[in-house]
Structure 1
Amino acid sequence: MKNIAIIMGGYSSEYKISLISGNVVYKFLDKTKYNGYCVHIFKEKWVYVDADNNEFPIDKNDFSINVNGTKIVFDCVFNAIHGTPGEDGLMQAYFELLEIPQTSCNYYQAALTFNKRDFLSVLKPYGIKSATSYYLNKGDVIKTSEIVNTVGLPCFVKPNKGGSSFGISKVKTEAELPIAIEFAYQEDNEIIIESFLDGMEVTVGVINYKGEIIVLPITEIVSENDFFDYEAKYQGKSQEITPARISDEMTKKVGEIAKRAYELLKMKGFSRTEFIIVNDEPFMLEMNTVPGLTPESLIPQQAEAAGISLTDLFSNSIELAF
């Protein structure tokens, strides 16, 4: 039996969702092959939490635990941390130094994809389209008329490094820009302001399944709100339709772009890439490398549509990490 540490929590606003994802992984882990350990990673403590909520501190020297006098080391880490430090490369680099296999992409790919600005810039020379954008770092002078001239209205103001739609605003007038920028700065010290793409939103899961890179059935997002925000994602204010109501040609086209990005960046583990399709042209928004794994989340829905159970999905991740 292999010991698997399922890391969850993290240092960002997404920690609550991460705890749910991590517990889903624990619940569906193949108990005939693996001993699962729920490990909470927070700024103030790294601890293994057992079934009775007893906490055992992690020894950061070798990422081990001591449970009632027995030292336990881990054969593999299942990464379920959304946001920092699980999705931005910090944990990946730490485990690489310790030579412990882990299920998500490597540290460079994590850091790159977590930074929307740099990620889209790297893919641009390959003909992968994205929205017109304008960048701000905290402390920069805010020139609202210059922003509007660049990206137009309405536009989206987003933290450059963040997820689960925290800190995002849809801005309809120039006067709203400073408020939206301040709101985004609460999540990150870098901001990306993007032109509004009026089209269908789809999300494409790409995974390495049994050694082959496959595109999962595509999901169409229909938000009741102004955009696919936190409420739409996690509180049922959206319809998620899998497979998406798009032509076979478009399914192939958008799937190929997502797969190409996965291969170009030498990704491993899960990836979930968001697109807006405008006039039969897919525009890439971002790629998530530790996507949600709750039953409501998109990758589990897509895997189910592909006939892959959660137990298979998680076992596959661990086997590939080895």
Structure 2
Amino acid sequence: MRVLLIAGGWSDEREVSLSGAKGIHNALLELGHEVDLLDPAQDFSNLMARANKADFAFINLHGSPGEDGLIQAMLNRTSCPYQGSGPESSFLTLNKAATKTIFDANSILSPKWELICAAEGCNGIEKLTPPVFIKPNSGGSSLGMTFAQNAQDMQSGIEKVFSMGDSALVEEYIKGIEVTCAILGDEPLPLILITPPDKAQFFDYNSKYALDGAEEVCPAPIEEKLTDKIKEITLKAHTLLGLSGYSRADFIISNGEPYILEVNTLPGMTPTSLVPRAAKAAGYSFSKLIEKLIELGLSRQK
């Protein structure tokens, strides 16, 4: 097949996208496909024309465009199928506050939260007190995140997010261990236990992508009953959000209870990324994982 590999883009996660695209490109060649690389930041105007010449599009974008559903919406106007979720569910899931609203409405346990907007009269802190995490409401890879331990930290963390042009999600700090669970098709993959390096306060950008970053153990050494519960919650969230193909949910486990943090619709695909690691534990080589995602994308179109 002729595969249009879409990577790069204009978000703060551009370099992560391009890094992951190298491995995907090699895997596609290994599978016998012809690859055409498109960077929306350099050739956005020709996206639809080039998609119409392709048999399949593989999207490896993070943030906007990609995780916000824009590229998927444009591809839906062409004859080209693609892997992963469609535009509506992608847009919904990228917005952390919208996702948490759905979790709350469906009895999925998540840390307490509030949305702080930059509009005049909307940025007062009322519900939560430190320690808290402050995140861009629509960002990823832990970019712009602050672990605020006092009121001054909160103010500077919120201002940092505002300077990025986003609203701030303030989230209750829950002490515990972090795990992640991916869905491939409609099956949960083995859990991964994540232990950030001692120098990191949390699973930050460097911990996620540096070769000397967090320690990741897969399958996670967690009792079977709790593992099954986390897999069940992950699949429930995947279904409620209308996701397709694959996704990855992050959790904090505290006192035996799993709290879901967020869901990723286009998980990272670098050599150190979590979904390829979980897929490997389930018996998928990297190229087989790419092949499976293409199969799922083609199946959805049919």
Counterpart of 2:124, as a letter, is: K
Equivalent residue for 2:19? 20
8 Å contact kept, 2:130–2:154: no
Counterpart of 1:123, as a letter, is: F
Equivalent residue for 2:256? 280
Gaps of 5+ in 2: none
Counterpart of 1:104, as a letter, is: G
More RCO (CA 8 Å, sep 6+): 2
The CA deviation at 1:62 is 2.4
Counterpart of 2:234, as a letter, is: A
8 Å contact kept, 1:215–1:259: yes
TM-score, normalization by structure 1: 0.87
Counterpart of 2:43, as a letter, is: W
The CA deviation at 1:32 is 4.7
8 Å contact kept, 2:92–2:241: no
Name the CA distance, whole Å, in 2 between partners of 1:32 and 1:84. Answer: 29
Structure 1 residues 23 and 198: alpha-carbon distance in aligned structure 2, compared to 1, 3 A threshold: same
**Equivalent residues in 2 for 1:172-251, closer than 5 Å:** 172-208=149-185, 213-224=186-197, 225-235=200-210, 236-251=212-227
**Residue 76 (str. 1) matches residue 56 (str. 2):** yes
The CA deviation at 1:30 is 5.0
Can you list the C-alpha shifts for 1:9-51, whole angstroms capped at 9, x where unaligned? 1121000000011111011125454112222121xx217xxxx
Structure 1 residues 178 and 201: alpha-carbon distance in aligned structure 2, compared to 1, 3 A threshold: same
Percent identity of paired positions between Structure 1 and Structure 2: 32
Greater helix content: 2
Equivalent residue for 2:103? 123
Can you list the C-alpha shifts for 1:170-222, whole angstroms capped at 9, x where unaligned? 000112211111112233421100010111111111111xxxx1111101111
Counterpart of 1:219, as a letter, is: I
Q: How many residues are matched?
A: 294
Equivalent residue for 2:241? 265
Name the CA distance, whole Å, in 1 between partners of 2:284 and 2:240. Answer: 25
User: Which deviates further from its counterpart, 250-259 or 228-237?
Assistant: 228-237
Gaps of 5+ in 1: 48-57, 65-71
Give the one of 22, 43, 48 matched to 1:46: 43
Secondary structure at the residue paired with 1:233?
helix
8 Å contact kept, 1:15–1:82: yes
Structure 1 residues 129 and 108: alpha-carbon distance in aligned structure 2, compared to 1, 3 A threshold: same
Structure 1 residues 134 and 153: alpha-carbon distance in aligned structure 2, compared to 1, 3 A threshold: same
8 Å contact kept, 1:151–1:195: yes
Return the index of the structure with the highest Cα Rg: 1
Greater strand content: 1
8 Å contact kept, 2:253–2:259: yes
**Residue 143 (str. 1) matches residue 124 (str. 2):** yes
Segments of 4+ moved more than 3 angstroms: 30-33
The CA deviation at 1:247 is 0.6
